[in-house]
Chains A and B, each alone.
Chain A
Amino acid sequence: AQSVTQLGSHVSVSEGALVLLRCNYSSSVPPYLFWYVQYPNQGLQLLLKYTSAATLVKGINGFEAEFKKSETSFHLTKPSAHMSDAAEYFCAVSDQAGTALIFGKGTTLSVSS
């Protein structure tokens, strides 16, 4: 069964610093991979997704992620953190088109001024 592991339950950065949130997947077949952001008491907003096209995926709000098959990773990055980026971030995977997403445990991003 597919799964994702998010390394680091909590990441703290300064405003303007690089954001790096880690996600490793475990899947027996080429997966579909997603990054979502969640603000308190709200649903999930899609940041970006990998669907076997380009390995470098650009998303909204300046985020991007690179699919690395050799490392089974799909880390999320942003060159310069903004205070509004503080939120919970979830990596998710599905290994078949149209099946339910399976989520990682999430990473809380804190941004300090």
Chain B
Amino acid sequence: GAVVSQHPSWVICKSGTSVKIECRSLDFQATTMFWYRQFPKQSLMLMATSNEGSKATYEQGVEKDKFLINHASLTLSTLTVTSAHPEDSSFYICSARENRVREGYTFGSGTRLTVV
């Protein structure tokens, strides 16, 4: 089946630094990818939708200058958390839309970000 590889699986960074999270579709082309954020014991909140070759569409309340999303190829989307602060600590999960399968969505394994 379809596989989405997300790296890193966990990262600790200092406050004020930037962190990049990668999401790759390994055996299919993903024209659309989605980024979610999940707080402990809570649901997944959609942050943004990215389409290959175009600017990402951010959900209301998500700072586009803080959470930079790039989808430069059909197999790679990246989320960069800029000038990270402790409140950005969370679990980030990407999802790729698989066009070969009707309503096929494949999720990455997630990235645990801790800002200290």
A interface list, Cβ under 8 A from B: 32, 34, 36, 41-46, 49, 51, 90, 94, 97-106
Q: Would A51 and B102 count as touching, CB distance under 8 A?
A: yes
Closest A residue by C-beta to B1: A46
Q: What are 7 A-B pairs with beta-carbon distances under 8 A?
A: A41-B112, A43-B108, A43-B110, A44-B107, A49-B103, A101-B95, A102-B46
Q: Would B91 and A41 count as touching, CB distance under 8 A?
A: yes
Assuming A32-B103, A105-B43, is B32 touching A98 (CB within 8 A)? yes
A45 to B107, CA, bound (A): 7
Interface size of B as a range: 20 to 34
Given A49-B103, A101-B34, output 8 extra A-B contacts at Cβ < 8 Å: A43-B93, A43-B109, A46-B105, A94-B103, A100-B49, A100-B95, A103-B43, A106-B42
Q: Is the interface of B mostly helix, strand, loop or mixed?
A: strand
* B32 neighbours in A (Cβ, 8 Å): 98
Q: Would A100 and B43 count as touching, CB distance under 8 A?
A: no
Most chain B beta-carbon neighbours within 10 Å: one of A100, A105, A106: A100
Q: Would A42 and B42 count as touching, CB distance under 8 A?
A: no
Instruction: Say which residue of B4, B42, B97, B109 sits within 8 Å of A98 (CB atoms).
Output: B97
